[in-house]
Structure 1
Amino acid sequence: MTSRPDTEHGTATTAPIEVDKRPLRRHQFNRALIQLACILISLFMVVPIYLITISAFSTRQGLNEFPQPLWPKNFSTETMATFLNSTGILAATLNSLTVGIGTLVLASLVGAPAGYAIARFAFRGKDPYQLFLLFTRALPIVVLSIPLAQVFLATGLYDQPIGVILLHTALSLPTTILITSSVFLSVPIDAEEAARIFGCTPVGAFLRVVLPLALPGIAASAIFTFVTSWNEVLGATILTFSNRTLPAQVLSTLGDSPVAFRFAGGLAMIIPSIIFIAIMRKYLLNMWGTTIR
C-alpha cells in the first residue's frame, strides 16, 4: 500500500498496489498440466488391465456382444476357473514363480556388488565396461537361447528351471548393475568411512550402512528383474519342453483356444506382477517419498 496526499481535505489516502499474478497462474497451469499427464498415463496403463479383467470374468456369450459394456452384465468365474484348472497351468505358474524369484536372487547377489564396485572404485576401462554391459540387451534373445539350448542339452540343464534362471539372469544383470551403481553413488561415502572408523570391516560397513541406505534402489531394480523374468516367453519356450513357465505354457496352449481363455490367461499373467509391485512399493516410497503417491 502507498499513501498520497489528499489536497482537498489535507489528509493522506492509500492506493492499492497491483500484484502481478501471472507467475502464480503460470505455476498453477503447469501443475494442472502435470496432473493431467499423470491421469492420462495412469489411464493408459489401467484401462487395458481393466478391460482384460472384465473380459476374463464375462461369459462367452457376453464377449460376443457389441458394443461391449464397461461392466459385464453376466459376471461369471467359469472361464477363469476352467483356465486355472487346465492341464499344466498350475505347474507352469509354480515354475514361473521359481524362475522369477531365482532370477531376482541371483541377479541381486551378482549385480549389487558389481554396482557397488563401479560406484566406489576407479579402474581402467570403467566407462567402456559400463557400455559393454548393455551389449547383452542389444542382442536378440533368440541369438542367446539357441546356443544355450545346445549347451544345456550337453550338460543336462535343458528343460530345467535353473537353465531359464541363468538365461534371465544374463538378461537382467546389465540393468541391475547400472541401476544399483547409480543408487550407491547417491549414498554418502562419509557414512561408510565413519562406520570404518568405528570398527566396521569393509564388508560390515557395506552390510550395515550402505546396503540399508541403498535398499529402495535395489527394490526398484528387483521389480524390473522380476517383471522381466515373469513376462519373458521366447527364451523359456526354447529352453523348456515339459517344465515350461506360465508365458511359455500360455503361448503354446492358448493359440487355438477361445477368446475368453486368452483373456483369462492374460489376467493370470498380470496378477502376480501387480502383487509383487505392491509388496515392493513401500521401498520405493522410502526412496521417492510422496512423489509417487
Structure 2
Amino acid sequence: MNDETKYALKKVGFYTAVFTAAVWIVIPIIISFLYAFTSKADYYDPTKIIPTSFTSEYVHTILFTLGAWDGIKNSVIVAVLTIIISFILGVPAGYSIAKYVFPGKDHIKLSIVALRMFPIPVMAIPLLVLYIDLHLADTLIGVALAHTAMALPFVVLITSSIFAGVSKEYEEAAMVFGLTRFGSFRKITLPLALPGLAAAAMFTFVMSWNEVFVASILTLNNRTLPAQILSIMAGSSGGAAPDYYKFAAAFIMTLPAMLFILFARRYLVTMWGITLK
C-alpha cells in the first residue's frame, strides 16, 4: 500500500468520524426542535415519521403560562453574575499561578482541582442551612455564588494556562518603557489573553445555564430555567408530563444556549483575528 492510498484512507476515516460525531449531536437537536412544534395528533400517529401539522401551543404554554420565561431571565442574570464573580476572583488567581513562583504553588493547583471531588448532593443540606442563615436562600445572587463555587476552579486553571502562554518578555519590555506591573497587565497581557478569557466565559455561562440541582435546592420562587423546567415536568401528572411538552421544554432549554454560543463564537473568532494582527 503506497503513501497516497494510506493518506486517502486516513482522510476518509477522519471525515467519517467527523460526520458520525456531527450526526450524533445534530439529530437529537433536530428531533427536539421538530417535535416541540408537532401537533398532538401527528405526534401519536404511528404512520407519520415526519409531522405535517404544527403548533406553538406547547412552547407558548411552558413559556408564559407555566413561567419558563421568568426562568430564562433568571438564568441569564445568574449566568452573567457567575461570569463576573468568577473572573473577579479567578483571573488574579490564574495570573498569580502563571507568573509567580511561590512555596506550595503545585499543592494549590492540586487543591483547586480537588475541590471538584466532593459530590454536590452531599453538601446540599448544609449549603441550604447556611443560605437560610445568611438570608441568601431563594435569591439569584445566592445561586450565582453557588455556581461560582463550581466554576471557579476551572476558571483559575484555564486562565492560568492562558496567562502562562503569554511571554513575560512583553510585560518586561512594557515596564522598561515606564508602565507599572498592573499597567503592563492591562495594556499588554490582557488584550493578548482576551480570546482565551472569552472561551473561559463561554464555558462558565454554559455550566451555569445547564446546572439544575443547586438551583432547585436553593430556590423556590426565583428559579432558573433548568430548575423551572424540572418543576414544571415534575408537577405535571406526578412527573409523567406528555412527551410533546418534554420536547417543547428541550427546545426552550437548548435554543438560548445555542444562540449564545453562536454569537460568542463569532465574537471569539473576530477577536482572535484582531489579537493575532
The TM-score normalised by the length of structure 2 is 0.91
RMSD across aligned C-alpha pairs, in angstroms? Answer: 1.8
Corresponding residue for 2:251?
Answer: 267
Q: In the alignment, residue 249 of structure 1 is paired with which amino acid?
A: Q
Moved more, 31-40 or 208-217: 31-40
Counterpart-to-counterpart distance in 2, 1:67 and 1:127 = 62
- Structure with the bigger RCO (C-alpha within 8 Å, sep 6+) is 2
Contact 1:215 1:283 in 2 (8 A): no
Structure 1: stretches of 5+ with no match in the other structure:
1-20
Find the aligned partners of 2:186 and 2:51 in 1 and give their Cα distance.
51
Residue-by-residue CA offset, 1:51-109 (whole Å, 9 max, x unaligned): 1000101011221123652x431122222122212232222111111111110111112
Answer with 145-154 or 222-231: which moved more: 145-154
Specify which of 55, 59, 62 is matched with residue 35 of structure 2.
55
User: Is the 8 Å Cα contact of residues 216 and 283 (structure 1) preserved in structure 2?
Assistant: no
SS at match of 1:75: coil
* 1:140-179 Cα deviation digits (max 9, x unpaired): 1122332121111111111000110010000001111111
Select the structure of larger CA radius of gyration: 1
Residue 220, structure 1, aligned to residue 199, structure 2: yes
Distance change in 2, residues 1:286/1:33 (3 Å): farther
Q: Distance in 2 between matches of 1:144 and 1:284?
A: 36
Tell me if the contact between 1:56 and 1:261 (Cα under 8 Å) persists in the aligned partners.
yes
Q: What's the CA shift for 1:23?
A: 2.2
Percent identity, aligned pairs only, is: 40
Q: Which amino acid aligns with 1:227?
A: V
Which residue type is aligned with residue 274 of structure 1?
Answer: M
CA contact (8 A) 2:94 2:157 kept: yes
Instruction: State the Cα distance separating 1:285 from its structure 2 match.
Output: 3.1
Matched, 1:36 2:20: no
CA contact (8 A) 1:95 1:244 kept: yes
Q: Which amino acid aligns with 2:26?
A: V
Query: Residue 15 of structure 2 aligns to which amino acid in structure 1?
Result: Q
Match of 1:179 in 2: 158
Q: Which runs of 5+ in 2 are unaligned?
A: none
Contact 1:216 1:286 in 2 (8 A): no
Within the candidate set 67, 78, 86, 1:88 is matched to: 67
Cα distance, 1:226 vs structure 2: 0.7
Q: Identify the structure with the greater helix proportion.
A: 2
Q: How many residue pairs align between the two structures?
A: 268
SS of aligned partner of 1:122: coil
From 106, 109, 112, give the equivalent of 1:130.
109
The correspondence for 1:147, drawn from 114, 126, 129, is: 126
- Partner secondary structure for residue 142 of structure 1: helix
Whole-Å separation in 2 of the counterparts to 1:233 and 1:280: 23
The code of the aligned residue for 1:170 comes to: A
Q: Deviations over 1:92-129 (max 9, x none)?
A: 11111111111011111211111111111111111121
Is 1:66 the counterpart of 2:46? The answer is yes
Q: Give me the whole-angstrom Cα distance separating, in 1, the residues matched to 2:270 and 2:190.
A: 14
Distance 1:172 1:67, change over 3 A: farther
Distance 1:185 1:33 in 2: 35
**276-285 or 215-224, larger mean C-alpha shift:** 276-285
Question: What amino acid does structure 2 have at the position aligned with 1:43?
Answer: V
Q: Deviations over 1:26-51 (max 9, x none)?
A: 22322332222222211121111111
Looking at structure 2, the residues matched to 144 and 120 of structure 1 have their Cα atoms a distance apart, in angstroms, of 34
